[in-house]
Chain A
Amino acid sequence: MSLLPFLVVAFGAGSLSLLTRRAERSSAAIGLVGLAAAGVLATFIGTDPPLGVAGGAIAGTTFARLFLALGCVTGMLIVIVGLATTWPRSLPGATLIGLGAAGFALGVSDPGIAVIAATGGAVVGVLVTLVAPVTERRLVVAVRELRALVVAGALAILAGAVVVGPVGAARADPAILGLGYVAFASAAAIRFGAIPFHLWAARVADAAPEVGLPLVMAWGPAAFLVIALAWTNGAVAASREPLGLERGLVVAVAAASVLLGTAAALLQDDIEHIVGYSIVADGGIALLGLAALDPAAWGPTRTWLLALVVTKTAFAAWAAAMAARFGTRRVQDLRGWAIRAPVLAIALLAIVIAGVGWPGMAAFAARASLVGLVLQGPAAAALLLGAFASVLYYGRLFAVGVARSQTVVPVAAAGAASGRAPQGSDDDVPASRPRMRPLPAWRTTRTPIGAIAVLILAGLSIAIAGGALGVAAAAEGRPPIRFETPVAGAPGQTEPTPAPSGASPAAASPGVSGAAPAAGSPSPGASAPVAPASPTPARPSGS
Chain B
Amino acid sequence: MNFGLAALAVAVVGCGVIAVSAHESRVAVLGLVLCAVIAPLIGTELPTPLVLSARLVAAILSGYVLWIAVRHQPATRGSRIGWPAEALAAAAAAVAGYGAAGFIGPAAGPREAEAVAFALGYLALGPLLVERDVLRLAIGLVVIVLAGSMARLAVQGTSSQLEQLVLSGVTVAVAGAAATIAAHTVRASRSFEVAPPARGGSGRSSGSAPRGDRAPETARPGPSGIVTGR
Contact = CB atoms under 8 A, between A and B. Distances in A.
A56 B158 CA distance: 12
A323 B212 CA distance: 11
B145 interface: yes
Interface stretch (A326-334, A340-348, A461-469, A493-501): A326-334
Contact of A324 (B156, B203, B210, B230): B210
B126 interface: no
Nearest to B162: A56
Contact of A137 (B131, B187, B207, B217): B217
Which A-B residue pairs are the 5 nearest by beta carbons? A542-B106, A56-B162, A135-B229, A55-B160, A120-B170
Contacts of A173: 104-105
Contact of A123 (B155, B156, B177, B215): B177
A80 B214 CA distance: 25
Interface string A108-126: 1010110011011101101
A428 interface: yes
Most buried by A among B105, B209, B210: B210
Given A327-B210, A329-B206, A162 B189 contact: no
Interface string A79-111: 000000010000000000000000010001010
B41 interface: no
Contacts of B157: 539-540
A136 B152 contact: no
B174 A120 contact: yes
B108 interface: yes
B100 interface: no
A330 B229 CA distance: 21
B161 interface: yes
Interface string B109-128: 00000000000000000001
Q: Is the interface of A mostly helix, strand, loop or mixed?
A: helix
B66 to A, nearest CB: 14
Interface stretch (A147-155, A280-288, A373-381): A147-155
Interface in A22-69: 53-56
A162 B108 CA distance: 11
A130 B184 contact: yes
Given A120-B169, A139-B134, A173-B104, A150 B161 contact: no
B107 A151 contact: no
25 contacts: A54-B50, A112-B152, A121-B173, A123-B174, A133-B226, A136-B195, A136-B197, A136-B230, A139-B194, A140-B194, A143-B134, A150-B145, A154-B144, A158-B152, A161-B156, A206-B213, A206-B214, A333-B208, A423-B210, A429-B209, A430-B211, A536-B159, A537-B158, A541-B108, A542-B105
A171 B105 CA distance: 7
A435 interface: no
A406 interface: no
B79 interface: no
A429 B204 CA distance: 17
Contact of B217 (A123, A161, A428): A428
A3 to B, nearest CB: 14
Contacts of B156: 112, 161, 164, 539
A443 interface: no
Interface residues of B, number: 72
Given A151-B128, A429-B209, 18 more contacts: A55-B161, A108-B162, A117-B170, A123-B170, A127-B177, A133-B227, A143-B181, A146-B141, A162-B104, A202-B202, A206-B213, A270-B206, A273-B204, A323-B210, A333-B208, A423-B210, A428-B214, A536-B159
Nearest to B157: A539
A157 B148 contact: yes
B30 to A, nearest CB: 22
Given A112-B163, A113-B166, A172 B105 contact: yes
B166 A116 contact: yes
A112 B134 CA distance: 28
Contacts of A176: 104-105
B105 A56 contact: no
A428 B216 CA distance: 11
Interface of A: 53-56, 86, 104, 108, 110, 112-113, 116-117, 119-121, 123-124, 126-127, 130, 133-140, 142-144, 146-147, 150-151, 153-154, 157-158, 160-162, 164, 168, 171-173, 176, 202-203, 206-207, 269-270, 272-273, 323-324, 327-330, 333, 423-424, 427-430, 532, 534, 536-537, 539-543
Nearest to A271: B206
Contacts of A429: 209, 211, 219
B181 A428 contact: no
B95 interface: no
B228 interface: yes
A127 B180 CA distance: 8
Nearest to B129: A147
Contact of A146 (B161, B178, B227): B178
A452 B152 CA distance: 48
A298 to B, nearest CB: 25
B169 to A, nearest CB: 6
A539 B194 contact: no
B21 interface: no
A328 B207 CA distance: 8
Nearest to A270: B206
Contacts of B178: 146
Contacts of B161: 54-56, 534, 536
